[in-house]
Each structure stands twice: as C-alpha cells, then as structure tokens.
Structure 1
Amino acid sequence: MKTIKLLALFITTSLVFTACSDDHDDHDHDHEEELITTVIYTLTDGNNTVTLQWEDLDGDTGNAPVITDGILSANTTYTGSIQLLNKTETPAEDITVEVKTEGDEHEFFYSSSVSGVTINKTDVDGNDNPLGIKTTLTTGNTGTGSLTIVLKHEPTKPNNGTADNAGGSTDLEVTFNISVQ
C-alpha cells in the first residue's frame, strides 16, 4: 500500500512539474498586437468629405464603441484613406504607420451590403500585393446598408480579395451603417 501511495505521489509531482514548465518559447516574436482604439475612414470626392469613425477607448469590457456612420452621394467616386490610432497613449500612436511598414504581413478588406458600392485598394505592399490603406469607393444608385472593414494579419498573398478566403488572423473588424442618397 505504501508503494502505491509513493507511486501516486511521484506521478502527481511529475505532472505538476510538467504543467508548470518554464518554457516560454514565443514563436511569434515579431507580432506584438497593437491596441487599436480608433478607426477613421475618410472619403473625399473633391468637394465633400465623409468621415466614418469607430472608437472604443475602454476596450471590449467597457462601454460600446462610438460609431459615426456616413451618408454618401449616389453615382460618385471617392478617394479613401484609413487611419488606425491608439488613443490610450499621449500623443495618440498612429498604428497605420506600423501596418504600412509591415505591409507584407497585413491587408485591409472592404465589403458593402449596399448594391452598387465597390471599394478598390489603390496601394500595395513591398511585394506589389494590395494593402488597402488607400482606396477608391464608387457608389451607384441610392440605397442603405453597411460597410465592413477587416484588417488581416499574415493573410495569404495574393488572394481573391475577400477576408473570408485570405486566411491569417483578424486584427480588426468594424462595421458602419451607410446611406447612399
């Protein structure tokens, strides 16, 4: 009986030491996820500017994000630019700079449920694959719906242009209500 107790104690002790291993190998040293508190998507048609903004200063556990939706003109082409900020720092850190610097590891994806709205990426990473910090957005006839922006980390490049088939991990996904009038 004493042998069984000693054997049980030995097995339990070896499990504890195995579970508490001091092995801190981090195979993703280069990707320290940045905090993104604010997304600003600015659309300009030459005469007018529409700013879509998503802001969540207290993170997932606090208040809901504050979202500024937008009204776009029908049959119009806009030049778009996205900016990502971390406003928990002073001054606010521009995360867009890091995304651009690590362009081969990132890609923005845009989709809209409004019929006739198309978004094209106009900038590329260092390997001439689409990046999506700069875009053109073209509207068709009137309608209402949503515009979703997804930032993928380490997507497959090149890909078919959709977030669903790009692989990688999602760093950001925000949705705006838009109206085309």
Structure 2
Amino acid sequence: MKTIKLLALLFISTLAISCSNDDDGHGDDHDSEEELITTVVYTLTNNADNTDVVTLTFTDLDGEGGADGTYDISGPLTANATYTGGIKLWNATENPAEDITEEVEGEADEHEFFYSNTAGLTITKTDVDGNGNPVGIETTIATGSAATGSITVILKHEPTKPNNGTSSDAGGSTDVEVTFSIEVQ
C-alpha cells in the first residue's frame, strides 16, 4: 500500500512540474505571460440601422489595485432590435497601444468570452476556435422591450472547452471582467 501511495505522489508531482513548465514559456512557442488589459471596447451596431452604434468602454490605465477604472456608455440600445457586436482589448500603457485582441484571436483555443446580463438580452457568440468551440470576440445581441440593467463581460484564459456556456463551468483564470450599466429604449 505504501508503494502505491508513493507512486501516486510521484505521478502527481510529475504532472505539476510539466504543467508549470508549459506556463513559464520554456517548453513551447506560446507566450504565456499574462498581458495587461487596460481598455475594453464593446461596439454594438444595430443590424437594421447602421447609424445606431452603441459603444461600451472600460478604461483602467493603472491596472488592478490602483485607481478605479472608468466606464463610458455612448447611449441606449434600441428595443426589439438585433445588434452585431465586436469586442476589442487594449494595453494602453504601451506606445502605440497594444491590441490584445490579436493575441486572443491567435490563441482562440485557450480563450473564451462569457456574457451575462440583467436586461433581458439574448447574447450569442458567433465566432469559433479551430475546434469549433465558441470564442466570443464576435456576438449578436437581441434586445427585448425597454429595460435597464447590465452586461457583464468575462474573458477566461485556458477554460474547459466545450463547456455549458457559463464562466463558472468553464474554469480557467479570469483575464478581465467588467460590468456595464445599460439601458434599452
């Protein structure tokens, strides 16, 4: 029995070491260093009226733990409409600002956005990774009747794929999480 326990401990130790080597950038071509995300821009364009564009922007230039970030919502969503959405992530501490969305797209199998809301919206991810699993850089949003509420956007790194569509089921680590107050008119 003692031999089995020692073998199990050795096996678990080997797994922990090989997993940590994947994350330190030394055993593969992936740049696994966590990127600073200072800005999230979620742009929603009404499919029936391309002049109806709503932009949800979060900015936190000093990162987590410093001053609170700021939110800017350009206007209300139209009731009973369908919007095409696209999300962009930036590191504005670089000059010029670094487009983090490119990295997420390049490592789509290791990332997934999750959306939840309290305004009666239906949010659907419309892009997929190389394995056919949702990514969520591109979305559609169907609004219902007039309402107020919020949209929460979460980007997970190394989530379980496939999953049940919720960030809690996906596991992984959270790269960014922001909640926008919205209005549907």
TM-score range, shorter chain: 0.7 to 0.9
In the alignment, is residue 36 of structure 1 matched against residue 40 of structure 2? Answer: no
Equivalent in 175, 179, 182 of residue 171 of structure 1: 175
In the alignment, is residue 76 of structure 1 matched against residue 78 of structure 2? Answer: no
Please give the TM-score of this superposition, normalised by the length of structure 2. 0.81
Partner of 1:104: 109
Equivalent in 93, 98, 101 of residue 88 of structure 1: 93
Distance in 1 (alpha carbons) for counterparts of 2:63 and 2:105: 24
Partner of 2:138: 134
Please give the TM-score of this superposition, normalised by the length of structure 1. 0.83
Partner of 2:154: 150
Aligned with 1:99: secondary structure? helix
Q: Output the amino acid matched with 1:28.
A: D
Equivalent in 135, 160, 166 of residue 162 of structure 1: 166
Provide Cα deviations, 1:37-69, integer angstroms capped at 9, x if missing partner: 000000001231100000000122322101013
Distance in 1 (alpha carbons) for counterparts of 2:80 and 2:22: 48
How much identity, in percent, do the aligned residues show? 62
Equivalent in 116, 121, 124 of residue 125 of structure 2: 121
Partner of 2:12: none
Q: How well do the aligned residues superpose, as a CA RMSD in angstroms?
A: 1.1
CA apart distance, 1:27: 4.3
Moved over 4 A (4+): none
Provide Cα deviations, 1:88-135, integer angstroms capped at 9, x if missing partner: 0000000000000000000000010112x0110000011111000000
Q: Output the amino acid matched with 2:107.
A: E
Q: Output the amino acid matched with 1:96.
A: T
Distance in 2 (alpha carbons) for counterparts of 1:158 and 1:61: 32
Distance in 2 (alpha carbons) for counterparts of 1:159 and 1:76: 28
Distance in 1 (alpha carbons) for counterparts of 2:60 and 2:130: 31
The number of residue pairs the alignment matches comes to 156
Partner of 2:53: 49
Q: Unaligned 5+ residue runs, structure 2?
A: 1-19, 25-29
